[in-house]
Structures are given as structure tokens and as C-alpha cells.
């Protein structure tokens, strides 16, 4: 297991915080900020960042470790483990976390990491697909994405992915729910503002699956989407729906260049 | 027309104002139509009754009702978190009349179509509203009146 952390690059930002300076545009957030794109890390409280910075403190590393064990576990009628075909994840999975979702020709649409994992389970291992938000799927997703930790997000939105990206963008900008708010209303127009007790971040996706202190566990990006839909009293979509996968691509591109942080820790 | 027999409609719709009546489901109260003057003001109380400023203050605090504190600063010192998204409302009773305040609570999108502020009394023109909120307004007509009464005291 790699235990390298991004903490060092943000050290200057951390020192500024310890000195009691409020979050400002001027803060040097190192890799956590790319031009005007800022990871949720830069909006998090100092204590929350400290938990993320230390792999031995970060409770989400338990999920990553479980994912590592499952990687080597034989399951299904084909009698294979992930490792049987993919061998050393540090090498073979080095890019996946930074480049998904991708256009998947056989289905004629986008797939994200969770769906890619389940495709391998059903088609290559002849094993059952893992349920969304199950400990297994969260752990494997966190493990796979963790292999790309520190790599800049670099998704493709051209070619066959383009129409799906456009749909994601439309979703992002569409007002919804009884409160009539779009993702954009909170995370673009009001990032950096307090909404009652909450500091609004840019709503970046580079740290997912993420350990939320509120959830007391690791959660998927789609769980977060559902929560953000429900808080404006909008009917959420199903986790794993095409709508959310398209939105996921739009968000990834919006944070293009931010480092993969999985597993992040947030409030 | 249905509203006559229901006896809840206090004002006729006119001009560029709202153009529909809503059956708001079993639990919800009937939507009360109102008249907008020059896109600036709703002069008459929605309920025909004056609001209660003390109850309005509670509505402004309550996270499931007005939650005005999410975005505004108000003279409510016992509440720790006041949002910083909208303007400070501490003196808003000096700026606007009751009618102008009512319009801004009922539907601020008439004043600014792009505003972040929700329309507290507009159960239509929305996308994918959760089932238990469908056809319902965020505040009841009486709660709107209570909030407006509270705002007029802020001078």
C-alpha cells in the first residue's frame, strides 16, 4: 500500500491556517488549487484536513485496505481474482482514477469506475455484481481510484463522449426542486460563501469515494449527488443512473487538473 | 369559477401576474391567487388578515420553513449562524413597503429572474419537485404574512 500523501504540497496553506488567517483567494493551496479550481480540501476545517493528511488517521484507508484484499480474492465461476488478470494495481490501475468516466463502446454510453468494476465481475469473473453503496463496491472503487492519487484529473470530453458531457452540463445548470436551485447556484455562484452554518465549496469530485464525518463512513459520489438533490427538495436519480454518470463526467472536467485525492475526508 | 365557491381568493389575478389556480393536494392548503402591481408590489394581505411579527421571526429562523438565516443577516442574536449570500435585512423595513416585501417573499424572481432566493409562494414552474412537496408552496399564505409583518418591524 502506498502511503504517500499530498500534505507536503499544501504545507504552506496549512501554516497560513494555523496562523489563524481566514480562507482567502491568496492562500497557497499547492496542488489542491489549479488556477481558480479549488478542491473541497481547501474549504475544509483544519482538523478535517489533518485527518485526510495522515493515512493512519484517515478512517477511509480501511476501505482502501479492504479493496486491496478483495483485489486478490478469487470469486465467481471463472475462478479468478482481479489480480489474476490485472496483476499489480499500482501499475495497471495507475490512470483509471484520473480518467473515468469514459465512453464505453459496447454499451454506447459512458461508464464510471463502479460500473467498470461490476462489468469485470459479471463478464470476466462470472461473479455477481456488487450492489451500489455496498462495502465491497465502495472499497474496490476507493482502492482503484487511490492508485491514481496525486495524478491530475484528465478526462476526455471530445469524440463520442461529447454528447454525454453536454447532457451533464445541462443537468448541472438546470434549476430543480421546490427550492428551484441548480448545482451551479451553490457551487459556482456561491462557492466560498456561508449558507447558514455551511461553507459552500466548488463541489469538486476529485476526492470520491469520500469519508464524510456526517455519514461516519465512506460514500460514493452518486450518494452525494442524491443528497444535494434532496436538500433542494428535488427528486433524486438512482445511483448509477445515466444522468448521474453524465453529470460525473461534467464535474470531473470542471475539476480537470486537480489531483485525485481519494480517499478524501469531508464534513 | 372554482375559487368563488372555495372562498379563499381575496384578489383577482391581473396584468402580467400569476395566471393559474392550483389544487395543492390533500394536506396542502389551497393556493391563494393575488394581484401584482407593476411587478413591484402585492398590496393586499394574501389571507386578508394581518401577520404576526413574532411568528414571522420564528418562520425566518426555522430551517424547514423560511430559513431566511441561510442567506441573510437578521437581528436575531440568539442564532449563531447567519448566511452571507443575500443582503443584510436588519433595516429592510426602511427600504420597502409591506407590499414590496410581500412580492419579494412570494416570488423574488419577478424582481430578478436569476436570483438565488427561492420563491416562497409559487408552487409551479419547477422541475422534478419531490413527491411530498409537489404542488405545495414553501410557506403557507399565513406564514408569508407573518414574515412580511416581521420584516416591516426591521427599522
Asked if residue A3 belongs to a domain, the reply is no
Asked if residue A159 belongs to a domain, the reply is yes
- pTM for this entry: 0.91
- pLDDT for res A27: 72
Query: How many angstroms separate the CA of residue A193 from the nearest CA in chain B?
Result: 6
> In the CATH hierarchy, which fold is given to the domain comprising B6-152?
Cytochrome Bc1 Complex; Chain D, domain 2 (1.10.760)
For residue B125, the chain A residue with the least C-alpha distance is A180
Q: Name the residue range of residue A159's domain.
A: 35-266
Break chain B into its structural domains and give their ranges.
Answer: 6-152
CA angle (A192 as vertex; A6, A31 as ends), nearest 5: 20
pLDDT tens digits for range A192-206: 999 999 999 999 999
Averaged pLDDT of chain A = 92
R_g over Cα of chain B: 15
Q: Which CATH number covers residue A160?
A: 1.10.760.10
Query: How many angstroms separate the CA of residue A181 from the nearest CA in chain B?
Result: 7
Torsion angle, alpha carbons of A179, A185, A186, A190, to 10? -130
Asked if A176's CB is within 8 angstroms of B127's CB, the reply is yes
User: How many domains does chain A fold into?
Assistant: 1
Averaged pLDDT of chain B = 86
Q: Which of B129, B132, B139 to mutate to test the interface with A (most CBs of A within 10 A)?
A: B129
Alpha carbon distance A93, A63 (integer Å): 17
Asked if B129's CB is within 8 angstroms of A234's CB, the reply is yes
Q: Return the H-helix or E-strand segment holding A115.
A: helix A113-119
- pLDDT for res B28: 60
Q: Where does the pLDDT of residue A28 fall: very low under 50, low under 70, confident under 90, or very high at 90 and above?
A: confident
Amino acid at each position: 500500500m502506498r502511503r504517500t500523501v499530498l500534505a507536503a504540497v499544501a504545507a504552506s496553506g496549512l501554516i497560513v491556517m494555523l496562523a489563524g488567517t481566514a480562507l482567502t483567494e491568496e492562500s497557497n493551496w499547492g496542488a489542491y488549487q489549479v488556477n481558480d479550481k479549488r478542491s473541497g480540501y481547501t474549504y475544509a476545517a483544519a482538523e478535517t484536513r489533518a485527518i485526510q493528511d495522515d493515512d493512519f488517521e484517515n478512517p477511509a484507508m480501511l476501505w482502501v485496505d479492504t479493496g486491496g484484499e478483495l483485489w486478490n480474492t478469487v470469486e465467481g465461476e471463472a475462478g479468478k481474482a482481479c489480480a489474476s488478470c490485472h496483476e499489480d494495481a499500482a501499475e495497471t490501475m495507475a490512470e483509471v482514477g484520473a480518467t473515468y468516466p469514459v465512453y464505453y463502446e459496447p454499451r454506447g454510453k459512458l461508464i464510471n469506475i463502479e460500473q467498470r468494476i461490476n462489468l469485470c465481475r459479471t463478464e470476466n469473473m462470472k461473479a455477481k455484481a456488487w450492489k451500489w453503496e455496498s462495502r465491497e463496491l465502495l472499497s474496490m472503487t476507493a482502492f482503484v481510484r487511490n492508485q491514481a492519487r496525486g495524478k491530475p484529473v484528465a478526462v476526455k470530453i471530445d469524440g463520442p463522449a461529447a454528447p454525454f458531457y453536454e447532457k451533464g452540463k445541462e443537468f448541472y445548470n438546470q434549476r430543480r426542486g421546490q427550492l428551484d436551485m441548480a448545482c451551479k447556484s451553490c457551487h459556482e455562484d456561491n462557492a466560498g460563501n456561508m449558507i447558514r452554518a455551511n461553507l459552500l465549496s466548488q463541489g469538486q469530485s476529485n476526492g470520491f469515494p469520500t469519508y464524510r464525518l456526517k455519514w461516519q463512513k465512506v460514500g460514493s459520489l452518486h450518494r452525494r449527488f442524491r443528497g444535494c438533490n434532496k436538500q433542494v427538495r428535488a427528486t433524486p436519480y438512482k445511483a448509477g443512473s445515466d444522468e448521474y454518470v453524465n453529470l460525473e463526467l461534467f464535474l470531473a472536467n470542471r475539476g480537470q487538473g486537480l489531483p485525485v485525492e481519494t480517499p478524501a475526508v469531508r464534513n | 369559477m372554482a375559487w368563488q365557491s372555495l372562498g379563499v381568493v381575496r384578489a383577482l389575478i391581473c396584468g402580467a401576474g400569476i395566471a393559474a389556480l392550483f389544487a395543492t393536494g390533500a394536506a396542502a392548503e389551497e393556493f391563494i391567487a393575488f394581484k401584482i402591481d407593476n411587478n413591484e408590489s402585492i398590496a393586499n394581505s394574501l389571507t386578508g388578515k394581518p401577520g404576526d411579527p413574532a411568528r414571522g421571526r420564528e418562520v425566518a429562523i426555522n430551517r424547514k420553513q423560511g430559513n431566511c438565516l441561510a442567506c441573510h443577516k437578521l437581528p436575531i442574536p440568539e442564532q449563531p449562524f447567519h448566511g452571507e449570500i443575500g443582503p443584510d435585512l436588519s433595516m429592510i423595513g426602511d427600504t420597502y413597503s409591506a407590499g414590496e416585501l410581500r412580492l419579494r417573499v412570494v416570488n423574488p424572481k419577478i424582481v430578478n429572474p436569476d436570483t438565488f432566493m427561492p420563491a416562497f409562494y409559487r408552487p409551479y414552474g419547477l422541475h422534478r419537485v419531490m413527491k411530498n412537496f409537489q404542488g405545495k408552496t414553501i410557506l403557507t399564505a399565513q406564514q408569508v404574512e407573518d414574515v412580511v409583518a416581521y420584516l416591516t418591524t426591521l427599522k
